Structure 1
Amino acid sequence: MVVNVFISAVTTDTLSRKEAVAWVNNLLKSHFTKVEEMASGAAYCQLTHLLFNAINLKKVKFNPRSEPDVLNNWKVLTTTWKDLGIDKPVDVEKMKKAKFQDNMEFLQWFYKFYNANLTTEPEEYDAVGARFGEDLPALKGSTGSRPVAAPARPVAAAPPKPRPAAPAVAAPAVKASVPPTVRNGTRPAPATSAGTRRADPSASEELLKQEIEKHKAASDEWETTAKEMETEREYYYSILQRVESLANEAEESGSSTVDVAALKTILYAGNEDTEQVDEIENEHLVESLQANLDDTETF
C-alpha cells in the first residue's frame, strides 16, 4: 500500500541541490549535473518503477527531443500514480519550464516519499538495463543510447630485440662550403627544413594543448558551481533571518503566536520577492508597535 507524505518548506529531512542530484545518480546510474534536468520527468518514471514496478518504461522518453515528449513522460507518470493511489498533485506546466525552485521542491518531496515507501534496498535493481541501455541524460556527442564496446584487438607480437649498435665511425672532415654554381645569372636559394618543421607541429604539442583546454573547462565548471552554492546559501540564510525577525516581533509584542500569512509569505518568496517581503515585515512591525501604544496607560 502506498504511503502518501507531505513536506513543508521548513523541514530537517531535506537535501542540498548537490546531494539531491547525487542521490538520483546513485539510484539510476545516471549523469544528471543539475536539478533542472529532472524537468523531463523521465527520472521520476524510473524511480517509480524502482519502487513499485508498476510503470511501463517502454512508453518513457528518457531523452526527449521536444515538448510533446516531455508531456508524454508526465502523463505516463501521473496516470500510474493515480492507479497506485498517490495523491501528490503535479503542476506539469510549472515543472516543464525547468525552473530550479519548482523542480527542487518536487525532488525534495519525492525524496521523502521514496524513503517512506521503500521496503527493500534496491541493490539488485539494474537501472541501465531497465531503461534499455540508454544514458540518462544522453551524454554529449551521443545519440541517446550506450555505444557498443569495440571488439578487443589482438595482442601484437613483441617487437624484435634491437641489434647491438655498430661501433662509432669517425665522421669525415667537413668540406669547406662551396657556393653553388651560378647559372644564367641566378643563384638557387639555400634549402632549409625550418618551414616544414613549423608547419607540422609535434604530437606532444597537440596533447599539451588538449590538456590545457580540459583544465580550463574544469576550472570554469568549478567556478560556476561555487557561485551557485553561494547563491543558494545566501537565499536560505535570508529566509532564516526573516523568520527569526518575525518571531522576535511576536515575542516583543507579548504574543504567543506568529502571523501564519506573514510566515508563508517569507517561506515561499523567491529572490525576486525580497522587496515585497520587506514591506510586509515593516507593516507587521508598525501594527505591533501601534498595539503596544494603545495598551499603554497615559498619565
Structure 2
Amino acid sequence: MVVNVFISAVTTDTLSRKEAVAWVNNLLKSHFTKVEEMASGAAYCQLTHLLFANSINLRKVKFNPRSEPDILTNWKVLTTAWKDLGIDKPVDVEKMKKAKFQDNMEFLQWFYKFFNANLVGDAEDYDAVGARFNEDLPALKGSSGARPAVAAVRPTAAPVAKPKAVAPAAAPNAAAKASVAPTVRNGTRPAPATSAGTRRSEPSQNEELLKQEIEKQKSLATDWETMAKEMESEREFYYSMLQRVEGLVHEAEELKSTTIDVEALKAVLYQSNEEGEHEVEATENGADSSQLRDALQANLDDTDTF
C-alpha cells in the first residue's frame, strides 16, 4: 500500500542542496554533482525501483539520455509506473526537463519525504550499480574515447620504421667527420654545433611560455570558481529567505490570521547571509524591494501545486 505525502517548501525534514545530492548518490552509488542533473528522470526511476521491487523495467530507462525525447521517455516510464502503484503526485514534466534549480529542488524534497514514508527494509541491501547494468549515473566525462585512437595509429607505425633501416649507411661518413674534428686543437673535442645549441634554447623558451599560460589559466579558473561559489551562496541565501517568509505565511494561515507579524517579517528580510558575504539592503532601495516582493509572490504561487 503506497503512502502518499504532501509537502510544502518549509518542513522540518527539508534537505539542503548538498545533503539532497549526497542522499541520492549514497542510495544509487551515483556521482551527481548538482540537483539540476536530476531533471533527466533516470534517478527517480531507479529510486522507485528500489522502493517498490519490480515496479519499473529499468531496461526502458535511459540513464544517460542524449536528447530531449530520451528524457521524455524516462518521465513517461516513471509516471506510468506511479499511476499503476497509486502514487497521486502530479508531475510537471515541461518544468522538470528544463533543469531549473528551484523546480528540481522542490520535487526532490517531496520525493525524499515520500521515500522515507514508504521505505520498508534496508536500502543498503539494494545493488544499485548491478540493477542498472553497471552503467555510470551520470556517465563519467572523458572515461573513454582516447584508446581507439591510439590503437589505430600503431598499425601504420610499423611500415614507416622499415625505411629508417637505411639510415645507418650514412653513419660512417658522419663518424669519419667526427673522428677528424676532435684533433683540431690540443686534442680536445670542439664545442657542439651552433644549430644544436639553438635547438636546446628553443624548448626552454617554449616551456617558459607554457608555464606562463598555465599560471594564467589557473588564475582564471580560481576566479571563476570563486565567482561560482559566491553566486551559489547568494542563491541559497535568498531561497532560504523565501522559505522562511513562506513559513510565516503558513503560520498565519494555520492561526486563521489575515496579517503577518511585521517584526518577524523584518527579522527575516534584514537577516545577513550565514557566510557573511552578502547582506540584504534596506527597503529604501525601491528597485531591490520590488524584486524581492515579486520573488516572494512567485514562490507562494508555486507552492499551490504541492
TM-score with structure 2 setting the length:
0.61
Counterpart of 1:259, as a letter, is T
Q: 2:200 aligns with which of 193, 197, 200?
A: 197
Whole-Å Cα distance in 2 between the matches of residues 57 and 260 of structure 1? 50
The answer to whether 1:17 aligns with 2:21 is no
Whole-Å Cα distance in 2 between the matches of residues 37 and 107 of structure 1? 11
Residues 50, 125 of structure 1: 8 Å contact kept: yes
**TM-aligned CA distance change 1:210 to 1:79, over 3 Å:** farther
**CA shift for structure 1 position 97:** 1.1
Whole-Å Cα distance in 2 between the matches of residues 247 and 81 of structure 1? 29
Specify the alignment match of 2:32 in structure 1.
Answer: 32
The answer to whether 1:134 aligns with 2:129 is no
Whole-Å Cα distance in 1 between the matches of residues 296 and 90 of structure 2? 31
Please list the CA deviations of residues 58-79 of structure 1 after superposition, one character each: whole Å capped at 9, or x if unmatched. 0000111111111100010011
Specify the alignment match of 1:117 in structure 2.
Answer: 118
Whole-Å Cα distance in 1 between the matches of residues 51 and 228 of structure 2? 34
Whole-Å Cα distance in 1 between the matches of residues 88 and 13 of structure 2? 20
Structure 1 unpaired stretches of 5+:
145-173, 181-188, 251-255, 280-299
**CA shift for structure 1 position 20:** 0.6
The answer to whether 1:56 aligns with 2:57 is yes
**CA shift for structure 1 position 278:** 8.0
Please list the CA deviations of residues 104-135 of structure 1 after superposition, one character each: whole Å capped at 9, or x if unmatched. 11000000011111111222222111111111
**TM-aligned CA distance change 1:209 to 1:258, over 3 Å:** farther
Whole-Å Cα distance in 2 between the matches of residues 258 and 194 of structure 1? 88
Please list the CA deviations of residues 173-226 of structure 1 after superposition, one character each: whole Å capped at 9, or x if unmatched. x95799x9xxxxxxxx96253432244469x98997898667864774464134
Please list the CA deviations of residues 235-264 of structure 1 after superposition, one character each: whole Å capped at 9, or x if unmatched. 3225535865x799x8xxxxx633399xxx
Specify the alignment match of 1:164 in structure 2.
Answer: none
Aligned with 1:8: secondary structure?
Answer: coil
Please list the CA deviations of residues 268-294 of structure 1 after superposition, one character each: whole Å capped at 9, or x if unmatched. xxx996344789xxxxxxxxxxxxxxx
Counterpart of 2:292, as a letter, is T
Residues 10, 247 of structure 2: 8 Å contact kept: no
Higher helix share: 2
Whole-Å Cα distance in 2 between the matches of residues 110 and 205 of structure 1? 54
The count of residues paired between Structure 1 and Structure 2 equals 226
Specify the alignment match of 2:98 in structure 1.
Answer: 97
Residues 242, 296 of structure 2: 8 Å contact kept: no
Residues 39, 98 of structure 2: 8 Å contact kept: yes
**CA shift for structure 1 position 94:** 1.0
Residues 247, 258 of structure 1: 8 Å contact kept: no
Which deviates more, 3-12 or 54-63?
A: 3-12
Specify the alignment match of 1:43 in structure 2.
Answer: 43
- Name the larger-Rg structure: 1
Residues 25, 32 of structure 2: 8 Å contact kept: yes
TM-score with structure 1 setting the length:
0.62
Residues 31, 136 of structure 1: 8 Å contact kept: yes
Counterpart of 2:257, as a letter, is V
**TM-aligned CA distance change 1:242 to 1:9, over 3 Å:** closer
Whole-Å Cα distance in 1 between the matches of residues 46 and 110 of structure 2? 16
Whole-Å Cα distance in 2 between the matches of residues 95 and 32 of structure 1? 16
Counterpart of 1:229, as a letter, is S
Counterpart of 2:14, as a letter, is T
Which deviates more, 114-123 or 73-82?
A: 114-123
Structure number with greater CO (CA < 8 Å, separation at least 6) is: 2
**RMSD (Å) for aligned C-alpha atoms:** 4.2
